[in-house]
A and B are shown apart, each in its own frame.
Chain A
Amino acid sequence: EADIYQTPRYLVIGTGKKITLECSQTMGHDKMYWYQQDPGMELHLIHYSYGVNSTEKGDLSSESTVSRIRTEHFPLTLESARPSHTSQYLCASSESGSYGYTFGSGTRLTVV
């Protein structure tokens, strides 16, 4: 039923590797977001975008970067993964003027 897709669903990688977490939505939403969530904990906004070529950092400092070249695509990249990056990463989108978010199923990242 998801209109916003995240891949991969699970990822285990070694320290120092570069990774990109994919997020795509088919709803034409202008606004997209990345949240980081540790198990059983609250969500922290790490990046957001209000449209193509617009990206901003969120409230939680993150070593990741994002890009928004197309409306439907909002990938997140870690240049050099570390064990401290182990977490769940949730992508979301919303329509301009509307406030409800649609979330993807998340990527659970483990850095060993």
Chain B
Amino acid sequence: SQQGEEDPQALSIQEGENATMNCSYKTSINNLQWYRQNSGRGLVHLILIRSNEREKHSGRLRVTLDTSKKSSSLLITASRAADTASYFCATSEGGANNLFFGTGTRLTVIP
């Protein structure tokens, strides 16, 4: 498998600040996705970036992908207390539709 690794493992910021999380993976991918998980709940799909894309935006989210470095970053701008959650990257490779999830970044936004 090629489960990714998120960095940092935990991040604590003040409301209004930007939060940046990084994800590294091991092999070639079709796409990379970011998910959010509130404590004890299921995951919610945030954004998908394909291997031929370098940057994508969705509201306050900005995702970058560098396939040469096998890394991605998720930027949340103007963070809110409600953004407090764990964020996971997930990769899809080859012809398979299965996703491999990273270890997650626990984000805490302090009001």
The reply to whether chain A is a binding partner of chain B is yes
Contact B33 A33 (CB under 8 A): no
Residue of B nearest to A43 (CB): B101
Classify chain B: how many residues form its interface, as a range. 20 to 34
Q: How far is the CB of B43 from chain A (nearest CB, A)?
A: 4
Contact B48 A99 (CB under 8 A): yes
Residue of A nearest to B104 (CB): A42
Q: Which residues of B contact A108 (CB under 8 A)?
A: 40
Contact A40 B106 (CB under 8 A): yes
Q: Tell me how many residue pairs across A and B have CB atoms closer than 8 Å.
A: 63
Q: Is A45 an interface residue (CB 8 A)?
A: yes
- The answer to whether residues A102 and B45 also contact, given A42-B88, A42-B102, A43-B101 and a CB cut-off of 8 A, is yes
The number of residues on chain A lying at the interface, defined by a beta carbon within 8 Å of a beta carbon of chain B, is: 28
> In chain B between 37 and 88, which residues have their CB closer than 8 angstroms to a CB of chain A?
40-45, 48, 86, 88
Q: How far is the CB of A91 from chain B (nearest CB, A)?
A: 8
Contact B88 A90 (CB under 8 A): no
Task: Report which residue of B41, B88, B99 has the largest number of chain A beta carbons within 10 angstroms of its beta carbon.
Answer: B99
A80 CA to B55 CA in the complex, in Å? 48
- The answer to whether residues A104 and B42 also contact, given A31-B97, A59-B1 and a CB cut-off of 8 A, is yes
Contact A103 B44 (CB under 8 A): yes
Q: Is B20 an interface residue (CB 8 A)?
A: no
Residue of B nearest to A60 (CB): B1
Contact B31 A106 (CB under 8 A): no
Q: Is A12 an interface residue (CB 8 A)?
A: no
- The answer to whether residues A90 and B103 also contact, given A43-B88, A59-B1 and a CB cut-off of 8 A, is no
Contacts from A to B (Cβ < 8 Å)? 2, 6, 31, 33, 35, 40-43, 45, 48, 50, 58-59, 88, 90, 92, 94, 96, 99-106, 108
Sort A-B residue pairs by CB-CB distance and give the 8 closest, nearest first.
A103-B42, A43-B101, A100-B45, A103-B43, A42-B103, A105-B42, A59-B1, A106-B42
Contacts from B to A (Cβ < 8 Å)? 1, 3, 30-31, 33, 35, 40-45, 48, 86, 88, 90, 92, 97-104, 106
